[in-house]
Chains A and B, each alone.
Chain A
Amino acid sequence: MSDPKKIHIEDVYKVYDGRAVLDNVDLCVSAGEFCALVGPSGCGKSTLLRLILGQEQPSRGSVLIEGQAAGFPDPRRGIVFQRYSLYPHLTVLDNVLLGRRLAQPWSWLPWSKPRPDDRDEAMDLLERVRLGDAAAKFPHELSGGMQQRVAIAQALIMKPPVLLMDEPFGALDPDTREDLQVFLLELWERERLTMFFVTHDLEEACFLGTRLLVLSQYYTDARGADAPRGGKIVADYRLSPTGTATAVKRRDEFKNFIHELRETGFDPAIRRHVKDFDLEHPDSFQTLTAEEYRRDGEKSAGNP
């Protein structure tokens, strides 16, 4: 590959206790994309994110980051979790600086000072997340929304090729949440980040994403009606940028689209066949196994 994609996942299975949580997942993400991943609870969203992060290894299949095996967690991926991203014993500034100081030999000595450039950069990042005043505070002195902004700054200082987020705004009240959504969009535009954002909030996903992925275990294939099925990407849309005005959320098309989405993947009663998934995004691809592909009654088999 001349220009490796930021994320390339092919034929990935993840099995827990004999049960497949991810079931032959394929996914490819280009640079600069804001991917939003939604799906019913327990479909394996966090599992997929942990595979990309390297926190867990696939049972089968390959996960590549910029063409290299994902391996274990390292600076090729930044991460913002829903909670516990900050180090309670470090001030806000030191939390943001941590990535830089870890790269500096001897910086563990209690009297070592951060390099002035690093300090300036961290302060600059803190200004950008509008927390310049809080630099000397400890994480427990901040509100939940402020903590998440620090966590984002902390991840950004590494300039990660891919920034992963697992329900980063899940524990926040609706106003703070909307505030941070706008903030994140601005940041994404300015920094040209590649984002992989997991949420269970469809509205949030449609507002933020340039690409919307639906992961779900509610689909059918040729393996028989009662066969256990793990999560698959059942829909993959390209979204037109909404801009940073939250008013768009109140528009009818927006609401209709979300309503439509609820029927793909979120309702156990409505299942599509693997060949009929809405995979309209240009990066989307699907490698089906012979068992999955054969339509009921058909004899032919094979990969398309």
Chain B
Amino acid sequence: MPTPKFWGLNARPSTWLRYTLAALPFLLAVLAYAVASDLRHADNPDDKLLPGLGQMIDAVKQVALVPDKRTGQVVLWHDTLASLTRLGEGVGLALVLALLSGLNIGLFPGLSALFSGFLVVVSMIPPLAILPILFISLGVDEAAKVALIFIGTYPVLTRDITLAVRAIPTEQIVKSATLGASATALVYRIVLPQILPRALESLRLVLGGAWLFLISAEAIAATEGLGYRIFLVRRYLAMDTIIPYVAWITLLGFLFDYLLRFCNRRLFRWYGDKA
């Protein structure tokens, strides 16, 4: 019996079909947009809601190539740098501290008893709800935005790392003691390298949330940044700028995800092969 190419549980799409299938939804989305945009423009040549491709390219040229008259900076790169700095600071801090606390809470029953319950409750606080508190206490500068990203990602990362640490078999921990490992050596030399790939995986998952917090904070109070720009030009209904910005953010998110996965496969061969 021939193996079906597409239909059913037993389908085995060939390589080229796989790529075509993967591209198809993207093409359809772009096509649908182009048709809708054309229809609206046929109705009203000044339509701002669904700008055509040409309009968007013009707008992108304006923000990505031409320096701003007032500040002399190229807007898109300036915004990207500002946003990525905030994202990097917030997420980086969260990852480092989550590793430190997750390892220790996961391994030391005393610390676990002290902090586990607190962490569960803290992770239930909706980060956006405390954004006003952050703005009031830290001011509307960088600190508040970085803090929001940190608060939005740290508890989840810590909980996930704690779970990964607890999943390490007791046998391994006991064995390390018979091999002369001190508690510190156990934490940082035996357990840390083992959960690092898992930590990078959790990081991939929380990055989506981190973008959400970044853009929310920028939308409310900022003078530059990708989120700031989108909400700024919204006042002029400048869809021709908003849509490319969204596409750019999506691309950045995709690139980071890909990069982390690549790192995981390259640095931790034992992990990838095992999974």
What is A's interface to B at a CB cutoff of 8 Å? 53, 55, 72-75, 77-79, 81, 83-85, 87-89, 98-99, 102-103, 108, 138-141, 154-155, 158, 160
Contacts and interface: CB of A to CB of B under 8 A. Distances in A.
Given A98-B179, A140-B274, 12 more contacts: A55-B174, A73-B178, A74-B178, A75-B180, A77-B178, A79-B178, A84-B172, A85-B172, A87-B194, A98-B176, A102-B189, A160-B178
Q: Chain B CB within 10 Å — which of A83, A87, A160 has the most?
A: A87
Interface in B153-207: 169-172, 174-182, 185, 188-190, 193-194
Contact of B169 (A84, A103, A155, A160): A84
Contacts of B171: 81, 83-85
Contact of A140 (B179, B182, B273): B273
Contacts of A141: 273
B179 A75 contact: yes
Contacts of A139: 270
Contacts of B190: 87
Nearest to A163: B178
Interface of B: 169-172, 174-182, 185, 188-190, 193-194, 268-271, 273-274
Nearest to B170: A55
Contacts of A75: 178-180
Contacts of A103: 180
24 contacts: A53-B174, A74-B177, A74-B178, A79-B174, A79-B178, A84-B169, A85-B175, A88-B194, A89-B193, A89-B194, A98-B179, A99-B179, A99-B180, A102-B176, A102-B179, A102-B181, A102-B185, A103-B180, A108-B185, A140-B270, A140-B273, A154-B179, A155-B175, A158-B178
Contacts of A79: 174-175, 178
Nearest to B188: A108
Nearest to A110: B193
Nearest to A78: B178
A155 B194 contact: no
B93 to A, nearest CB: 23
Contact of B269 (A83, A87, A138): A138
Contacts of A73: 174, 177-178
A53 B32 CA distance: 69
Nearest to B179: A99
Contacts of B185: 102, 108
B59 to A, nearest CB: 47
Q: Chain A CB within 10 Å — which of B175, B177, B179, B273 has the most?
A: B179
Contacts of A81: 171, 175
Contacts of A140: 270, 273-274
B253 to A, nearest CB: 29
Contacts of A98: 176, 179
A99 B177 CA distance: 9
Contacts of B274: 88, 140
Contacts of B188: 108
A89 to B, nearest CB: 5
Given A84-B169, A88-B194, A108-B189, A155 B178 contact: yes
